[in-house]
Amino acid sequence: MARVGIIGTGFVGRAWAISYARAGHEVALWDGQQDAPQAALSYIEQLLPDLAANGLLNDVPEAVRGRMRAAATLEDALAGADYVQESTFEDVAVKREIFARMDVIAPPGCILASSTSAILPSMFTEHLAGRARCVVVHPINPPYLIPAAEVVPSPWTDPEVLQRAAQFLREAGHAPIVMQKELDGFVMNRLQGALLEEAFRLVADGYASQEDIDIGIRDGLALRWSFIGPFETIDLNAPGGVRDYVNRYQGLYAGLTAQMQRRVDWAGPVLDGIERDRRAHVPADKLQERQAWRDRRLMALMAHKRRAAKDIGS
């Protein structure tokens, strides 16, 4: 059991709170807005029974809820903390200020992790006495459903802190991606960006529609990717494994890549068409309902993956 401080209790912070309390940790929630932690806890209370019903809680909702509390001050939230997850507004000045405050208050040895998706850790930790204990731990939302999280060091992050953060995540049921050095977009947004870039190009150039792209991924490529990832996929797609695959197909892919060295504007006419197609599927006033449906499907998928790993192996 560790003591965890959740700093910033918006959508990301409250989701982390569930993940860490589920893992058995004592979680204190604090936010710059005084009423926010209580609102987050109410939201969490409504969510926990759904997670329990899908077998994703490892415990009764009351027990998980019982490990969370609202902290009145930053000092209170960080008292005795072993690990802090910061999820405040995505602005470098905001991050610099909250990290400066946290670094003064948090006990020595406490890891200070930021949920930032797009700010390099070097941008808001260089000035700190305790900069060696600062790291980015970036989730895909919501982290209580999606295991992957990126652990990103700045040039001055202590390698032992990097490993300790990764181990902390693993023990909480997460699958950490441990980066060797910081990089814009980290790993996941770069992979997503590379794929989206080609998707927008195909639509902009009139080869396929938005729906065709989604079919190609959701009814095609992402089926295997969702349990073995792209490298294991190609490793199993040639008789002699990944080397055999690269020998057979690198020439093909090199030719395709040469055709992709050009950016298209994602906005403008291509976005008009994509938005028209999307709104025909889901009208604007049904987006929230669709998001709730997505989360239910995601929960069912995670329950399926857990069962399949047990029954068939992983």
Asked if 275 is part of the footprint of a second copy (rule: CB under 8 A), the reply reads yes
Nearer to a second copy, 52 or 189 (CB): 189
Q: Smallest distance from the beta carbon of 83 to a second copy, in angstroms?
A: 20
Residue 214 Cα to chain centre, angstroms: 21
Contacts of a second copy in 68-87 (CB under 8 A): none
* Piece of 29-37, 70-78, 101-109, 138-146 that binds a second copy (CB under 8 A): 138-146
- The least CB distance from residue 196 to a second copy, in Å, is 6
Pairing mode, if any, of strands 134-139 and 148-152?
A: antiparallel
> Which residue in the set 76, 177, 204, 306 belongs to the binding site for a second copy (CB under 8 A)?
177
- 239 bridge partner residues: none
297 is a site residue for a second copy (CB under 8 A): yes
Q: Is 252 in the site for a second copy (CB under 8 A)?
A: yes
In 3D space, the residue among 49, 92, 40, 94 whose CA is nearest the CA of residue 69 turns out to be: 40
- Indicate whether 267 belongs to the interface with a second copy (CB under 8 A): yes
Token pair recorded at residue 28 = 């204190």
Cα separation, 168 vs 48, whole angstroms: 22
β-partners of residue 4 are 27, 83
Q: How many residues bind a second copy (CB under 8 A)?
A: 105
Among positions 35, 75, 218, 280, the unique one binding a second copy when judged by CB under 8 A:
218
DSSP code, position 268: T
According to CB under 8 A, which one of 31, 82, 86, 150 is a site residue for a second copy?
150
Q: Which of 73, 191, 269, 280 binds a second copy (CB under 8 A)?
A: 191
Q: How far apart are CA 148 and CA 125, in angstroms?
A: 24
CA-derived radius of gyration, the chain? 21
Q: Provide the residue type at 92 as one letter.
A: V
- Nearest residue (CB) to a second copy, 109 versus 225: 225
| Cα 116 to Cα 114: distance, rounded to the nearest angstrom | 5
- As measured in angstroms, the least distance from the Cβ of 152 to a second copy is 9
